[in-house]
Amino acid sequence: MACFFRRTIAAKLGRTLQHPEDVFIPAITATPVLKKQQSPDFRLSVSTLRIDGILPSNEDIQLQTENLANQLKRDVVVEEISAEKGVIHFHVNRELLAEKVLEPFKNGADDKYGLNSDLLTPLKRGTTLVEFSSPNIAKKFHAGHLRSTIIGNFVANLKESLGNSVIRMNYLGDWGMQFGLLGAGFEKFGCIEKLKENPLQHLFEVYVRVNKEVEQNEALMQAARDFFRQLEQHDDEAVSLWQQFREITVQEYQHVYKRLGVHFDVYSGESFHRDQAQTVVRQLQDRGLLGTSAKGMGVVDLSPDGDMSNVCTVLRSDGTTLYITRDLAAAINRQEKYSFDEMIYVTDKSQANHFRQLFQILLAMGHPWADRCRHLPFGLVRGMKTRTGDVVFLEDVLDEARARMLHNMSQSHTTKELENPEDTAEKVGICALIVQDFKGPLQSDYKFDWAQMLQAQGDTGVFLQYTHARLCSLLRTNKGVDEGEFNPSLLRETSSINILQHLLRYDEVLLQSAQDLQPKHLVNFLIKLSHFIASAHRDLPVKGSPPDVAQTRLRLFRGACSVLANGMRILGVTPVQKM
């Protein structure tokens, strides 16, 4: 694997430059593979060594690079070393390359490939709490919630595969004046049967209707206020109705999350912290952090000069708390309960300021762990529509993805052999959705496009699934080919070397994604891997080749298949065996 070569190169540098070899490890990277020509395997950027103070930064960098390249010794592992524009290239022995990269797949798939790399050790951070999805009861589950769901799931999967213990939390919008409206609305327009039959639909209808009606109906508005006050005062009847809304909603969501392959360890919500929020207000007061605005609201002054030019409201003039007050209480409560080492909030970028203020206030309150909290923002999705119009429920999106995919698949003859085409269509459709979403930087807005994301050719999730299924089929049909011996010296073609070199980069790609929490590094790695696999299918036939060639190529395909599947699983996708 990559570690073996990186270590060997680092040891050479360590001996030559008289430094412990570990300091060189992060500076040595596997070279991105170009399709047409064979490239060197590893590279070292000399400027990194200058920044680290290992080499003087006042000398001519090109001369320095050449001198260092000349001093380093070639051997049986690293056969060639060359210098170019501040970079040293390393070319490793071809047979060793194949042997080391494919060693983990000797006995089958290896779902730990790359994960034990020493590059990833510093990222193991104990307990990570990831808060994601977090829809609001009775309101629309919009594209932003879908993005939060799949991005949060990716972050949780990634952290988990790196060896952290992960808490997946859903923080429901289950408190606030909207429940006054919903309660009063339900008493007027609601129907228990309909609620049981199609809860999300019915709650949403009631909510939309009551919002419209209160515009002209002052009595209803008063009823809503009364209902919310009753809730706040723990009135049994009001609380029991609210509880039903909540429970039924959670059950429905659990069902849809399951289709997406997402689960939560904790369903928390704003309601959990309504009383603690008042405690937080008192703590702010005790610490002298609570001020009063001209309008009589409780505020925390966050301006650098303390001149109230930037304040955050934490208490309404009627004494009720706000979204941020509940978030303060929730964060403190989570730290007490889970002692997380890091906490990641996944929401759209419009809440960036909210989280900045949240962390700032927590720090001011004397909670240094707020520095280990992070907001992962993402951009807007435009034009997410289904055949029936705007998306209101998550299930509609999944149904549409499945239906469209099923239609596309019916064009292909292999679909007839599938045991459960619907299930396959669902998995492929979800993969398409995820890949479209993860291809670019999360911060960017993007345009949702069913046709484009479901293309079989092109850089789509369908292409990833297709590549995986094709590899599985190759491995299935050649199961009996075991007379030949694996012989690493037989993998010399550009198509083989491309895959091997690309696999060398896997741990670096995981590192990148774990550092900036952007899935694009992993997605683009897997897409590129799939392109290399497509060339290999063409150039490296298994059928009809001598037994040792067949056996060796199968090992290469098995390794590629295994890494593709591992990467897809981290993205939150279930790889299909047939399609």
Q: Which residues are catalytic?
A: 139, 142, 145
Q: Is position 131 an interface residue for ligand ARG (rule: CB under 6 A)?
A: yes
Q: Is position 149 an interface residue for ligand ARG (rule: CB under 6 A)?
A: no
What is the x/- site pattern for ligand ARG, positions 192-231, by CB under 6 A? ----------------------------------------
* Ranges within 270-329 binding ligand ARG (CB under 6 A): 327
Chain-centroid distance, C-alpha 60: 42
Q: What's the rounded Cα separation, in Å, for the pair 420 and 415?
A: 9
* Ranges within 339-378 binding ligand ARG (CB under 6 A): 345, 347
| 267/345 with CB nearer ligand ARG | 345
Q: How many residues bind ligand ARG (CB under 6 A)?
A: 8
What is the x/- site pattern for ligand ARG, positions 545-574, by CB under 6 A? ------------------------------
Q: What's the rounded Cα separation, in Å, for the pair 343 and 156?
A: 11
Q: Is position 393 an interface residue for ligand ARG (rule: CB under 6 A)?
A: no
Residue 572 backbone phi and psi in degrees, to 5: 105, 20
Kindly indicate which of the ranges 80-88, 129-137, 230-238, 426-434 contains the residues binding ligand ARG, using the contact rule CB under 6 A. Answer: 129-137
Under a CB-based contact definition with an 8 Å cutoff, are residues 161 and 197 in contact?
no
Kindly indicate which of the ranges 128-136, 416-424, 446-454, 499-507 contains the residues binding ligand ARG, using the contact rule CB under 6 A. Answer: 128-136
Kindly indicate which of the ranges 130-138, 194-202, 285-293, 425-433 contains the residues binding ligand ARG, using the contact rule CB under 6 A. Answer: 130-138
Q: What's the rounded Cα separation, in Å, for the pair 300 and 365?
A: 11
User: Which one among 104, 114, 173, 180 touches ligand ARG, defined by CB under 6 A?
Assistant: 173
| Alpha-carbon distances, residue 64 vs 51, 68, 78 (angstroms) | 14, 6, 20
Tokens of 151: 């991005």
| 1/517 with CB nearer ligand ARG | 517
| 345/486 with CB nearer ligand ARG | 345
| Alpha-carbon distances, residue 14 vs 6, 17, 181, 245, 508 (angstroms) | 12, 5, 69, 64, 21
- Write down how long the chain is: 579
Least distance between ligand ARG and beta carbon 354 (Å): 7
Least distance between ligand ARG and beta carbon 133 (Å): 9
Q: Is position 134 an interface residue for ligand ARG (rule: CB under 6 A)?
A: yes
Tokens of 116: 């034990």
Q: Which residues of 424-451 are buried (b: 16+ CB within 10 A; e: fewer)?
A: bbbbbbbbbbbbbbbbbebeeebebebe
Name the β-bridge partners of 343.
129, 373
CA pseudo-torsion sign 384, 389, 391, 395: negative
In the numeric block, the tokens 């030559």 are attached to 16
User: Which one among 5, 42, 171, 438 touches ligand ARG, defined by CB under 6 A?
Assistant: 171
Least distance between ligand ARG and beta carbon 378 (Å): 12
Residues that bind ligand ARG (CB under 6 A): 131, 134, 136, 171, 173, 327, 345, 347
